A and B are shown apart, each in its own frame.
Chain A
């Protein structure tokens, strides 16, 4: 039984970085809508060395993709540490536990517990959903597998337990906003070790959220990683602001993105050559990356923020310049096997 982890709960790279008090960087890798392992390998190579661990999404936006755990096994082969995302939409408590036993056996050590987007958003809207348990109950279940060595039903495990560094999501600006810090507190009470937030563009609003989080002492019980992501175009910024629940995009950021495309502004699509459009996209992307770097620098100053989670959706190439630009490169290598005392202790 390997409960001895030199003082670490799990001993994953992500846990070691956070326990050492270093500002952590996680990124995101979206598996392909195919059985192609090369897509995973290529993305893993783009991210390796630029983050401490990488989230592997679980049928995100309810679109069928290669499974998080299957993709995670490939990522492990590539020498990058995965954070397995697990939603409650597609699996009941039996399937979740059995998949997590396999994930641990395959070398995965970090887990993010999510409710999951509703299936009506995805490409199988006529599917039946599961939602046997919710994300908070999922946290409790995996913490009990690790610390009590029992399945959800209470039966003991018959051998080594799966030991995951357990994460949860927080959406600081979703409604009801006043309740959000308390819901986060519930996740920490359930046993979450780290938190990754929804995308933050409004730093002032996030500061207000963090003030409440600190008042509740949540930052001393779990490591909070702020979600950031580079914008690709003004249209993407507007879409996030208007259509994605829980994302606030200040007008100043939208204006900056628009300004980046100013040399090509006022022209109709057919007036722009292919080269023009390419140059405009590059200008937008450059500005998007610049904004993301500035957001990281501002967010880093907020007390209680232990790292950033960079969500460069289908744009893994952007992670390296963001991490470099934010002064977070190279990523530290923790050589010691002995854990520092728990920050929470």
Chain B
């Protein structure tokens, strides 16, 4: 899922500027599960903004609402009325949610309340870790289900580099060396010979380097096709 964390209140306040009616919009999917932008966080942030702006002498009207998914038009349609009432929209969705709101409500100013961090999972309560870089050309079949693009600090395909020590990356003792993990897993599964093969340069065209990406599925398109 998409992992995000909330921006500092001071940054959010600065983004809101002098708008007086604020609608905080939570999202019920990924950011709810990572405790960054669900209905609970939206309500708490709304209360914090009411209090802090009141104390600062420029009290704002702050309402909050949470949709199931900010990244789908039909869920955004459901909050059209509340949106109409607001001067500014504060999205607690990921970067996709913020942009979906901007696109769906073209006459409204929207600002982000979260920093979208990465695609990952909760490894334990309160700790999230990156797992996927959405590179568009999955190589997990070569690496025993551990992604070096996302989890090696240098995205090496023929790792590990000389900076691997005692299981961690040279960048930080808090970062496990992805290639140590790959080596251990392939060794334990009797497939370490896979690491003797040279992996050629990656085709980054399928990643962001090829420009913004789009997938079109002809079989799913609605409406008549033009000849």
Contacts and interface: CB of A to CB of B under 8 A. Distances in A.
Nearest to B172: A120
A176 interface: yes
Interface stretch (A183-191, A268-276, A305-313): A183-191
B204 A132 contact: yes
Chain B, interface SS category: loop
B198 A186 contact: yes
Contacts of A89: 154
B154 A115 contact: yes
B148 to A, nearest CB: 10
A261 B193 CA distance: 49
Q: How large is the interface on A (under 10, 10 to 19, 20 to 34, 35 or more residues)?
A: 35 or more
A212 interface: no
Contacts, number: 89
B161 A115 contact: yes
Contact of A190 (B157, B159, B192, B198): B198
Contacts of B177: 175
B180 A131 contact: no
Interface residues of B, number: 30
Contact of B183 (A93, A176, A198): A176
B199 to A, nearest CB: 8
A89 B164 CA distance: 17
Given A152-B201, A245-B170, A179 B162 contact: no
A278 interface: no
B165 interface: yes
B158 to A, nearest CB: 4
Contact of A137 (B158, B163, B171): B158
A285 interface: no
Contacts of A137: 157-158, 198-201
Nearest to A190: B198
Nearest to A172: B162
A175 B167 contact: yes
Contact of A245 (B153, B165, B199, B204): B165
A129 B204 CA distance: 14
A20 interface: no
Contact of A176 (B161, B164, B198, B202): B164
Contacts of A179: 160, 183, 192, 195
7 smallest beta-carbon distances between A and B, as pairs: A171-B162, A245-B165, A136-B158, A134-B156, A115-B161, A174-B162, A131-B154
Given A121-B170, A137-B199, A174-B164, 7 more contacts: A117-B163, A136-B158, A137-B200, A174-B163, A174-B165, A186-B198, A245-B165
